[in-house]
Amino acid sequence: MSANLPTSSGAKIPSPRRLKNEAKKLRRQDGALTQLAALDLAATARGWPSYKAFEREWRKQPSIDRRHFLVTLSAQWSDRLNSARGTMQAHVQLSEPWWNFLSLAERRQIGTLSDFHIVRADRSRLAATDEYTSWMSCAHNLSKAARKLVFIDVMRVLAASQSKAIAAFQGDPHRMLSSQYPNRDHETLWWDPATGFHFILNEPYQIDPDKQNRVLAAREMVAHTTREWTIHNPSGTLAQLIAPMRNEPELMVFVQRSNALPARFRQIVFTDNEGHQFDIFT
């Protein structure tokens, strides 16, 4: 069946979220299906040769309101010692509406980003529930939330639990995840719902490569380190993607995806109380 049939026939193209829900039902019926295979089945059932082909067609729709691709995160701060307070916003451009690739339950599992809630049923506006205690705290948490949203958009991953990461790593015999290793800092766990691949994102301020590499090698893990981007603190940390050595090919797929992050992070626009744009880390 032609991928153009749903469009040419005048039928409305369903949202990616609709197909993902249908894929979940298929996986419940057949536990052997991978997420990617279930997505392809859901797409072919509606006339597309694959889920990727469906996504390309969906993005071409002239009726898509691309204003929803822009999300504004806002946060307030209050410094009682100096009797000062204010608000700042982060304007984030996404490749598609965030709710197409991130459910409400999934968003609540992502540290810092989970502190921001939908404003008056408008999913293009997210606001921090609590005030931050200083301008700097507000800036760092707002930036981190905005960057995590972009990170998920680009990498197409979700937050992983430690127990599921240990299972994916086929155990934790060297206590890689349950105890400290050299230069471990600001560590988060992520997984790819399409393949089940898990990896560690470590964001230290600095590393001792020789010391860390010896420990990682002993634990049969491999790390890719970059200073081109970071989620935690753009003014000081670096990023390491870490996974079992046997999964290095899968890890390199995400290393390649991450090459798009520096440009996407630079697109985030920060504004102050009056709506004036400013560099949050200058």
CA distance 240 to 262: 15
As a whole number, mean pLDDT of residues 198-208 equals 92
Given this model, what pLDDT does residue 7 score? Answer: 45
> Do residues 154 and 264 touch, judged by C-beta distance below 8 A?
yes
| Reported confidence tier of residue 179, pLDDT bands at 50, 70, 90 | low
Cβ-based neighbours of 75, under 8 Å, separated by 6 or more: 87, 88, 89, 116, 127, 128, 132, 138, 141, 142
Q: Render pLDDT for 70-103 as a digit per residue (tens, 0 to 9).
A: 999 999 999 888 888 999 999 999 988 898 889 8
pTM: 0.78
> Do residues 104 and 98 touch, judged by C-beta distance below 8 A?
no
3-state secondary structure the chain: CCCCHHHHCCCCCCCHHHHHHHHHHHHHHCCCCCHHHHHHHHHHHCCCCCHHHHHHHHHCCCCCCHHHHEEEEEEEEEECCCCEEEEEEEEEECCCCHHHCCCHHHHCCCCCHHHEEEECCEEEEEEECCCECCHHHHHHHHHHHHHHHHHHHHHCCEECCHHHHHHHCCCCCCCCCCCCCCCCCCCEEEECCCCCCEEEEECCCCCCHHHHHHHHHHCCEEEEEECCCCCCCCCCCCEEEEEEHHHHHHHHHHHHHHCCHHHHHHCCEEECCCCCECCCCC
Given this model, what pLDDT does residue 117 score? Answer: 96
Given this model, what pLDDT does residue 169 score? Answer: 85
Phi-psi sector, 175: left (phi>0), alpha (psi -120 to 50), beta: left
Q: Render pLDDT for 136-172 as a digit per residue (tens, 0 to 9).
A: 999 999 999 999 999 999 999 999 988 888 888 887 7
Count of Cβ atoms closer than 10 Å to residue 242 Cβ: 22
Given this model, what pLDDT does residue 242 score? Answer: 94
Q: Render pLDDT for 209-230 as a digit per residue (tens, 0 to 9).
A: 898 888 888 888 899 999 999 9
Which residue from 153, 148, 150, 138 is spatially nearest to 281, judged by alpha carbons?
138
Which of 56-65, 108-117, 169-178, 233-242 is modeled with the greatest confidence? 108-117
Q: Render pLDDT for 4-18 as a digit per residue (tens, 0 to 9).
A: 444 434 456 787 878
